[in-house]
A = this chain, B = another copy of it.
Amino acid sequence: MDANSSPPRAGGRGGRTSGTAGAVWLRGPRTYRDSTLTSDRIIAEAIVLLDGEGAGRLTMRRLAEHLGVGPTTLYWHVKTKDDVIDLAVDAIFDEVSLPEPSSRWDDDVRALVLQWRATMLRHPWAAGLLGRPLLGPNVLERTEFLQATLRRAGFEGPVLAAATHGLANYVIGSAATQSTWQHLATPELQQSADAHVRAHADLYPTLAVTHHLGEHDWDDLFRRGLEFMLAGLGSPA
C-alpha cells in the first residue's frame, strides 16, 4: 500500500557491514530494501491473485500493489505480462505429483491424470488460458511421465503418440469445460441456461431430458470417460 513513502527501509542486516572478513555468512544473500522481489515471488502472488479473482482481474498494477511495489518495477524481473501468465500456468503444474510407478501401467496413468485434472480445477483460470503453448519444465515433465508410462506399457510409434495426445486432450477438455461451468458461470446463469434448454425442448429434446447443466457429478463423469479411453487403449496394445 504505502510502502513507498518517505522513510527508506533498512537494508541488509543490522547496521554497518563493511569489509570485515567472514561477514558474508552473516549477511546472507544480497538483500535490497529488505524485501527482495524475485520473479518467483511475482509469480506466486500472481497465482494468488488469479485464484482469488480470476484471469480478468490480473493486471500488472494490481499485482504490483499486492507486492507493495511500484507498477513498473515488475518489468525488471519479468519481461511482459504474458510471461507472468506463462510462468504461472507452468508453476501450478508443480502440484501434480508424479506417482510412484506401479505394476499396472493403467493405474499410473489414472493417478497422473486425476492429479492433473485436480490441479487444473484448483486453479480454474488455467483452463481459459489454453491457446498458449505449454512448454514449461513442469508441464513437460508431466507429459514425459505420461508418455514414458505408456511406452513401458508397450505402445509405440503413432499409437503411442495418439494415446498420449488422447489422454492429455481429454483431461484438458474436461477441465476446461468443468472450470467454465463451475467457476466462471454464475449460479444464476447456470439455472437460466438450464431453463432455456428446457423451454426449447422442441429444439433440444434429448438435452432437455438429460442435460442438467448445473447438476453434474463431474468426478463421476470424468472417471467414466477416462475408463472409456483406457478401455479403448487396452485392446490394441
Contact = CB atoms under 8 A, between A and B. Distances in A.
A1 B217 CA distance: 53
A61 B161 CA distance: 43
Taken together, the copies of this chain in the complex come to: 2
A130 B148 CA distance: 29
A94 B147 CA distance: 36
| Interface residues of chain A: helix, strand, loop or mixed (majority) | helix
Contact of A173 (B161, B169, B179): B169
A230 B148 CA distance: 24
Which size class do A's interface residues fall under?
Answer: 35 or more
Interface in A191-237: 193, 196-197, 203-207, 210-211, 216-217, 220-221, 224-225, 227-233, 235-236
Interface stretch (A5-13, A41-49, A136-144): A136-144
B225 A151 contact: no
